[in-house]
Amino acid sequence: MKFFVDTAEIDAIAELNELGMVDGVTTNPSLILKSGRNILEVTKEICDLVEGPVSAEVVSLKADEMITEGRKLAEIAPNVTVKVPLTWDGLKACKVLSGEGKMVNVTLCFSANQALIAAKAGATFISPFIGRLDDVNLDGMELIADIREIYDNYGFETQILAASIRTVNHVSDAAKIGADVMTAPPAVIRKLAEHPLTDKGLAAFVADWEKTGQTIL
Ligand code: E4P
Query: For the chain, what percent of residues have pLDDT higher than 90?
Result: 100
Mutation choice for ligand 1 from 27, 35, 129, CB with most ligand atoms inside 8 A: 129
pLDDT, tens digit, for every residue of 49-62? 999 999 999 999 99
pLDDT, tens digit, for every residue of 87-121? 999 999 999 999 999 999 999 999 999 999 999 99
What is the model's pLDDT at position 175?
Answer: 98
Q: For ligand 1, atom 8, which residue shows the shortest CA distance?
A: 164
Q: For ligand 1, atom 10, which residue shows the shortest CA distance?
A: 164
Cα dist from 58 to 38, 64, 73, 112, 184, whole Å: 14, 11, 8, 23, 20
- Mean pLDDT to the nearest integer, 135-141: 97
What is the model's pLDDT at position 137?
Answer: 97
What is the model's pLDDT at position 28?
Answer: 98
Question: Can you tell me the distance from the alpha carbon of 154 to that of 170, in angstroms, rounded to the nearest whole number?
Answer: 26
The DSSP bridge partners found for residue 128 are 109
What is the model's pLDDT at position 90?
Answer: 98
- Mean pLDDT to the nearest integer, 209-213: 98
- All structural domains of the chain: 2-212 (3.20.20.70)
Other Cβ atoms less than 10 A from the Cβ of 119: the count is 23
pLDDT band at 203 (very low <50, low <70, confident <90, very high): very high
What is the model's pLDDT at position 125?
Answer: 98
Question: Can you tell me the distance from the alpha carbon of 12 to that of 8, in angstroms, rounded to the nearest whole number?
Answer: 9
Taking the whole predicted model, whether its pTM rises above 0.85 is answered as yes
What is the model's pLDDT at position 185?
Answer: 98
pLDDT, tens digit, for every residue of 143-189? 999 999 999 999 999 999 999 999 999 999 999 999 999 999 999 99
83 is catalytic: yes
pLDDT band at 141 (very low <50, low <70, confident <90, very high): very high
- For residue 207, report the distance from its CA to the centre of ligand 1, in Å: 42
Nearest to 88 by CA among 118, 58, 116: 118
Q: What's the chain's average pLDDT?
A: 98
